[in-house]
């Protein structure tokens, strides 16, 4: 069980301990700091949708420090970011790896802390097996996801699909400075 830090707030009910995530949400800040799975995507999507409904068109900040995770769950977050009607400012605070990098790239504005990093790579199989036709179908689907993810990166960076796929043949680490230089990020933050 992860410990969630609290802040003390005074109200008519006295002094209360409020989870820091709730306090950040009041300031239109969402945190993605876990591996991406269906549960994480549900929380992130719910928070983004709530903020979009509460303040249509107002910016939402998404703090990202994640090792990545499931493609389908990550793409659900990408779709929510793109369709919520609010600009979503992605801030890479540590590492945006794998699917977290795709989410970061989908944001309207991409900011990084000075020592943050992005890591992109080809999607990996999650096992599988079965009949020859089943394995062939899994391979086809994996290659389709490879093209889709490369297209998302290409759209935001200016590289073409082939260039992205060449980069992602192995783990490709990008420092904040290089990310700005090669259009994987818009700016490095110098203050919070």
Q: Which of 11, 98, 134, 191 is catalytic?
A: 98
Q: Which of 12, 66, 72, 121 is catalytic?
A: 121
* 138 vs 128: CA distance, rounded Å: 8
How high is the mean pLDDT of the chain?
A: 93
Task: Give the least confident one: 18-27, 73-82, 127-136, 161-170.
Answer: 127-136
Q: For residue 129, what pLDDT band results from cuts at 50, 70 and 90?
A: confident
Residue 88, beta-bridge partner list: 60
Q: What is the CATH number of domain 6-188?
A: 3.90.226.10
| pLDDT value of position 16 | 86
Based on the residue annotation, tell me whether 121 is a catalytic residue of this protein: yes
**Residues 74, 168, 87, 185: what is their CA dihedral angle, to the nearest 10 degrees?**
140
Whether the predicted pLDDT of 128 surpasses 70: no
* 61 vs 90: CA distance, rounded Å: 6
Q: How many CB atoms lie within 10 A of CB 166?
A: 12
Given the structure tokens 């590492």, which residue do they identify? 95
**Residues 95, 96, 98, 104: what is their CA dihedral angle, to the nearest 10 degrees?**
-170
Based on the residue annotation, tell me whether 27 is a catalytic residue of this protein: no
Write out pLDDT tens, residues 110-123.
999 999 999 999 99
Task: Give the least confident one: 68-77, 91-100, 114-123, 125-134.
Answer: 125-134
Give how far the C-alpha of residue 21 lies from the chain's centroid of Cα atoms, to the nearest Å: 17
Whether the predicted pLDDT of 21 surpasses 90: no
Global pTM value: 0.91
Instruction: Tell me the helices (H) and strands (E) count for the chain, helix number first.
Output: 7, 9
């Amino acid at each position: 069980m992860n410990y969630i830090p609290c802040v003390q707030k005074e109200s008519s009910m006295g002094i209360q301990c409020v989870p820091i995530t709730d306090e950040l949400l009041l300031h239109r800040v969402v945190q993605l700091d876990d591996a991406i799975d269906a549960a994480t995507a549900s929380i992130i999507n719910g928070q983004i949708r709530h903020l979009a409904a509460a303040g249509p068109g107002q910016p939402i900040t998404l703090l990202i420090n994640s090792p990545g995770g499931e493609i389908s769950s990550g793409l659900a977050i990408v779709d929510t970011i793109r369709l919520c009607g609010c600009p979503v400012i992605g801030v890479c605070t540590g590492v945006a790896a794998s699917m977290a990098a795709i989410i970061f790239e989908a944001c309207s504005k991409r900011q990084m802390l000075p020592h943050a990093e992005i890591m992109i790579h080809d999607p990996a199989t999650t096992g599988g097996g079965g009949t020859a036709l089943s394995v062939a179908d899994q391979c086809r689907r994996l290659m389709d996801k490879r093209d889709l993810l490369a297209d998302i990166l290409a759209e935001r960076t200016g590289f073409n699909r082939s260039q992205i796929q060449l980069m992602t043949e192995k783990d490709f680490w990008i420092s904040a400075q290089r990310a700005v230089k090669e259009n994987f990020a818009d700016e490095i933050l110098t203050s919070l």
